[in-house]
Amino acid sequence: MYIIIVGGGRVGYYLAKALLDEGHEILILEKSSTVCETVNEELGSICYRGDGCEASTLAQVGTGRADMLVAVTGEDEDNLVACQVAKHKFKVPRTIARIRNPSNEVLFKKLGVDVTISSTNVILEQIAEEVPTHPLIHLHEIRDKGLEIVEVKIPQGAATVGKALRDITLPQGTFLTLIVRRAQKPLVPEPGTILMADDQIIVVTDPASEQELRKALRGS
Amino acid sequence: MKIVIMGCGRVGARFAGLLESAGHNVTMLDTDSYSFRRLPSGFKGRALVGNGIDEEALKRAGIEHADVFVALTQGDNRNIMASQIAKRIFGVKRVICRIYDPLRQELYQNLGLEAISPTTIFADILMKKLEG
């Protein structure tokens, strides 16, 4: 794939390095000449000096044939404009923006950016995973489908411990996919499966049903 | 009319003065309070420190009840983003955005933003003067 990365800072640099290793054609657009030189010395001539928000620069690097543009500068507004110019002027099929302010996610989606990545949110999710008492952990969002994969842990003494799955009413559109049980192989949930304390249940759900799902599985 | 202006530079401050003389209710938004020194003496509108690409700052500036939003900071991208927030999130009826880069101005004009490029306009004026 031909992937254009806007911003040659730390994020852009390591992203380019990883994608080059996977065999992709990579081009970094970077405003600063010194940053550009460093990248070119270390990764080979893949950095082009220019403003990734300018249509003329994007035209020079053949954005029209790019499969993807990833904007990872430190400024949300620059990342938004780079993605919008790529999308509307050059019809790039996939645009991805890094965002600093998590509340910009909704706006960026509304304005046509395909994927947003908020480092703040990523770290928050990681923290949630590390906190053992956290009742529901977000594992993966299924983009554009309004679904997500979450993990629900059954605590000691929960009202649902010892109950069979057929006796538990789940919210509509929720699917239990896997039960990870201590010292056992993961098992596929069946109506007769009995819940045990410390079970980790992997569930596909609609984000709006999270609370109801948690209550159904944990009894509170 | 209620008008929110983002960016209190020379143009923003002068425009605010003109609007006020015409009887409009003006709120200025700028990230640097020092820039408010440019406002005409006796300016009765509000001057708030805040970033126009932040929804909270825009709300404090009264964007929800504004009839007009004008983006006049030095940054094209900042103006573009703030204008799109005003239009798409808050539904402000009239949004005007300054974009120095003529190519970007053309693109966003096509995307439905009322965008003005002072670069194109001033270059045209100079050309007319010379050709007399």
Mean pLDDT of B85-111: 95
Measured between beta carbons, which residues in chain A are less than 8 angstroms from residue B80?
A: 77, 80-81, 84
A115, A96 contact by CB (below 8 A): yes
Q: Of residues B94 and A215, which shows the higher confidence score?
A: B94
Q: Provide the token pair at A140.
A: 């993966």
Q: How confident is the model at residue A85, as a pLDDT? A: 96
Cα–Cα nearest to A71, from A22, A45, A33, A104? A104
* Residue B27, CA distances (Å) to A187, B16, B19, B67, B82 in order: 62, 8, 11, 12, 15
Strand partners, A145: none
The CA distance from A18 to the nearest CA of chain B, in Å, is: 29
Q: Give the CA dihedral A168, A170, A175, A179, nearest 10 degrees.
A: -40
The CA distance from B44 to the nearest CA of chain A, in Å, is: 31
A129-218, CATH topology level: Alpha-Beta Plaits (3.30.70)
Q: How confident is the model at residue B80, as a pLDDT? A: 97
- pLDDT of residue A83 exceeding 90, the answer is yes
Mean pLDDT of A95-121: 90
Total number of domains in chain B: 1
What is the span of the domain harbouring residue B22?
2-131
Q: What CATH number is given to the structural domain containing B50? A: 3.40.50.720
Residues 6 or more apart in contact with residue B132 via CB below 8 angstroms: none
> Roughly how many angstroms between the first and final C-alpha of chain B, as a whole number?
39
List, for residues A31-82, the tens digit of each pLDDT value. 999 999 999 999 999 999 999 999 999 999 999 999 999 999 999 999 999 9
Euclidean distance between CA atoms A153 and A141, whole angstroms: 19
Strand locations in A76-168, DSSP E?
A: 94-99, 115-118, 136-142, 147-153
Q: Provide the token pair at B122.
A: 């001033």
Euclidean distance between CA atoms B81 and B77, whole angstroms: 6
Torsion sign (Cα): B44, B45, B46, B50: negative
Yes or no, beta carbons of A78 and B77 under 8 Å apart: yes
Yes or no, beta carbons of B81 and A76 under 8 Å apart: yes
The CA distance from A105 to the nearest CA of chain B, in Å, is: 12
Look over chain B and give the mean of its residue pLDDT values, rounded to a whole number.
96
Shortest CA distance from A55: residue in chain B: B103
Strand partners, B47: B28
Superfamily of domain A2-122: NAD(P)-binding Rossmann-like Domain (3.40.50.720)
Yes or no, beta carbons of A88 and B111 under 8 Å apart: yes
Yes or no, beta carbons of B103 and A56 under 8 Å apart: yes
Query: B15 — phi, psi (to 5°)?
Result: -60, -40
Q: How confident is the model at residue A1, as a pLDDT? A: 94
B27, B3 contact by CB (below 8 A): yes
Strand partners, A202: A151, A178
The CA distance from B78 to the nearest CA of chain A, in Å, is: 6
List, for residues A156-179, the tens digit of each pLDDT value. 888 899 999 999 999 998 999 999
Q: How confident is the model at residue A33, as a pLDDT? A: 95
Mean pLDDT of A2-22: 95
Cα–Cα nearest to B52, from B122, B101, B2, B4? B4
Yes or no, beta carbons of B103 and A81 under 8 Å apart: no
Q: How confident is the model at residue B75, as a pLDDT? A: 95
Provide the residue ranges of all domains of chain A, joining segments of one domain with +.
2-122, 129-218
Measured between beta carbons, which residues in chain B are less than 8 angstroms from residue A111?
A: 84, 88
Q: Which residues of A touch B (CB under 8 A)?
A: 53-56, 75-78, 80-81, 84-85, 88-89, 101, 103, 107, 110-111
Q: How confident is the model at residue A137, as a pLDDT? A: 84
The CA distance from B42 to the nearest CA of chain A, in Å, is: 34
Yes or no, beta carbons of A77 and B111 under 8 Å apart: no
Q: Provide the token pair at A116.
A: 């947003």
- pLDDT of residue A103 exceeding 90, the answer is no
Cα–Cα nearest to A153, from A168, A167, A134, A139? A134
Task: Please report, as a single letter, which amino acid is at residue B125.
Answer: I
Shortest CA distance from B110: residue in chain A: A88
pTM above 0.80, yes or no: no
Yes or no, beta carbons of B89 and A107 under 8 Å apart: yes
Q: How confident is the model at residue B13, as a pLDDT? A: 97
When CB atoms are compared, the residue of B53, B103, B110 closest to A77 is B53
Mean pLDDT of B102-113: 94
Q: How confident is the model at residue A79, as a pLDDT? A: 97
Look over chain A and give the mean of its residue pLDDT values, rounded to a whole number.
91
B90, B54 contact by CB (below 8 A): no
Euclidean distance between CA atoms A172 and B44, whole angstroms: 56
A88, A55 contact by CB (below 8 A): no
Q: Tell me the ipTM for this assembly.
A: 0.89
Measured between beta carbons, which residues in chain A are less than 8 angstroms from residue B88?
A: 107, 110-111
Euclidean distance between CA atoms B76 and B103, whole angstroms: 11
Q: Provide the token pair at A114.
A: 């395909």
